Amino acid sequence: MSQVHPGDAAPVHDLIGIGFGPSNVAMAIAISEHNARAGTQEEAVTAHFFEQQPQFGWHRGMLIDDATMQVSFLKDLVTLRNPTSEFSFLCYLKSQGRLVDFINHKNLFPLRVEFHDYFEWAAAQVDDMVSYGHEVVGVAPVVRDGSVEYMDVTVRSAEGLAVHRARNLVIGTGLRPLMPEGVERGERVWHNSDLLSKVAGLEGTSPSRFVVVGAGQSAAENVAYLHRRFPEAEICAVFSRYGYSPADDSSFANRIFDPQAVDEYFTAPDEIKRKLMDYHGNTNYAVVDIDLIDDLYRQAYQEKVLGTERLRFLNVSRLAGVEETSQKVRATVKSLVTGEQTDLDADIVVFATGYSPVDPLGLLGEVADRCLRDDVGRVRVERDYRIATDPDLHCGIYLQGGTEHTHGITSSLLSNTAIRVGEILDSLLGRGAESGADAARPVVEESGSAVR
């Protein structure tokens, strides 16, 4: 626990952001647009973000050249909040000289590589607010007269450890790749999040078989990509479903991603929340774009006709074991119908087994003890994405992600990012008296008060 000493003059940020993925890039943009409008220094919000990667990167391992976005470009970092923003995807296109070409394309869903480039372009315009190559490793409360007035954020970089002080935090640390229990990643056992970097390491080799586990969008993309990239190799897809199921992207169902749906979800009783996720989980989870399903089926059928089968679908099956040797990896696939086991000797097994939310309190150390949890141990989050805390914590801790249980399916997605950061900023400003008004100034502790 940090103490504030008399004469201590550490500068205090209104806001420190942990992570600089799309969520916190959008946050930084909202702050920079607010500051540009703010009449006085007092109204401006001081913020700094820390990102562990050496430069901006959005799921780089999955930037497959022909993969497209699963969200309309109009749900970029700003447009739903501020349609006149200079940080929009359309402004990006204009700056790249592609606006008219994009319009002629008549397409709402850009390539993922193009959207990555847009994110980088946007992030570069607010890079005075971010330190790359800086990993946040801990947070400690700064206590005065029994109340937590600030938080000290410890950051590790090539220069070593440093501590930065803030009145508010916004945690945007994203999701973690999920492996099945007991399976470790290795040379020949990958998670799809590493696909492109790992494939680069196969340059000059001629793999003969890949096994891809999973039935979601990433799994199907991996199957299609590996099939195309390694024309000599057999690709075995293993999943417990009968076949890939299409993502429901129909217009009425899509309303589950609307800003208003967050209000409704937030106020709905738990049982209705559960039902909504059951009804509409298939807009996002364990589903695949119908065009990709059709392409894969067409390919598999064509191979059957030609007698050149390289695409194999081991459906209603699960991976019962995986054993890596220096030369190969053996995947044991068990049929859920007959129980029969088949050994597949492969060059690589790719687990496209999804991502899991990270416990948002994991980094918070003693501050986490002051955050409230619900009856089943989940963190309690207010409508403005601020964690509910004990009243002696005078700081705000905001979450971008990890709020699916309170705010619904858009929690980890891009759909609502622009609106969400506007709501967080409004909350920060609305609580200005406690969190913003004097925050930009150095903290000079009044004489000798015991600070704990």
Amino acid at 399: L
Q: Among residues 46, 389, 415, 427, which is the contact residue for ligand FDA, using CB under 6 A?
A: 415
Residues numbered 117 to 146 that lie near ligand FDA (CB under 6 A) are: 135-136
381-386 contacts, C-beta under 8 A, 24 or more apart: 381/406, 381/407, 383/263, 383/266, 384/423, 384/424, 384/426, 384/427, 385/420, 385/423, 385/424, 385/427, 386/424, 386/427
**Contact status, residue 425 vs residue 27, Cβ threshold 8 Å:** yes
Q: Which of residues 153-192 bind ligand FDA (CB under 6 A)?
A: 172-175
- Least separation in angstroms between CB 352 and ligand FDA: 10
Q: Does 225 bind ligand FDA (CB under 6 A)?
A: no
| Contact call for residue 69 and ligand FDA (CB under 6 A) | yes
Task: Give the nearer residue to ligand FDA in terms of CB position, either 20 or 344.
Answer: 20
Distance CA 218, CA 69 (A): 12
Q: Mark the segment that binds ligand FDA (CB under 6 A) among 18-26, 204-212, 333-341, 364-372.
A: 18-26
Min CB(286)–ligand FDA separation in Å: 14
Which residues, including other chains, have CB under 8 Å from residue 350's CB and lie 6 or more apart?
A: 190, 191, 192, 195, 210, 211, 212, 213, 222, 226
- Contact string (CB under 6 A) for ligand FDA, positions 367-406, x = contact: ---------------------------------xx-----
Q: Which is nearer to ligand FDA, 321 or 362 (CB)?
A: 362
222 in contact with ligand FDA (CB under 6 A):
no
Q: What is the CA radius of gyration of the chain?
A: 24
Instruction: DSSP for 20-51, please give it.
Output: -SHHHHHHHHHHHHHHHH-SSTTTS--EEEEE
Q: Supply the minimum distance, in Å, between the C-beta of residue 360 and ligand FDA.
A: 11
CB proximity list for 264: less than 8 A, separation 6 or greater: none
Q: Site for ligand FDA (CB under 6 A): how many residues?
A: 30
- Kindly state the smallest distance separating residue 174's Cβ from ligand FDA, in Å: 2
Q: Which is nearer to ligand FDA, 136 or 189 (CB)?
A: 136
Q: Which is nearer to ligand FDA, 109 or 310 (CB)?
A: 109
Binding letters toward ligand FDA, positions 27-56, x by CB under 6 A: -----------------------xxxx---
Residue 216 in the binding site for ligand FDA (CB under 6 A): no
| Phi and psi at residue 154, to the nearest 5° | -95, 130
**Amino acid at the residue 375:** D
User: Amino acid identity of 134?
Assistant: H
Do 50 and 201 meet the contact criterion of CB atoms below 8 Å apart? Answer: no
Stretch 299-358 residues interacting with ligand FDA (CB under 6 A): none
Choose between 53 and 342: whose C-beta lies nearer to ligand FDA.
Answer: 53
Q: Which of 15, 16, 29, 58 binds ligand FDA (CB under 6 A)?
A: 58
Range in contact with ligand FDA (rule: CB under 6 A) among 69-77, 80-88, 262-270, 375-383: 69-77
Q: In which element (H, E) is residue 422 found?
A: helix 417-430
Query: Counting contacts by CB under 6 A, is residue 22 touching ligand FDA?
Result: yes
> How many CA atoms lie within 13 Å of 232's alpha carbon, on the beta-carbon side?
5
Would you count residue 23 as binding ligand FDA (CB under 6 A)? yes
Q: Which of 140, 102, 161, 173 is nearest to 367 (CA)?
A: 140
Residue 70 interacting with ligand FDA (CB under 6 A): yes
Residues 6+ apart with CB under 8 A from 279: none
423 binds ligand FDA (CB under 6 A): no
Determine the interface stretch with ligand FDA among 16-24, 76-84, 244-252, 421-429 (rule: CB under 6 A).
16-24
If one asks whether residue 264 binds ligand FDA (CB under 6 A), the answer comes out as: no
Distance between CA atoms of 193 and 177, rounded to whole angstroms?
7
Residues that bind ligand FDA (CB under 6 A): 18-24, 50-53, 58-59, 62, 69-71, 135-136, 172-175, 218, 400-401, 412-415
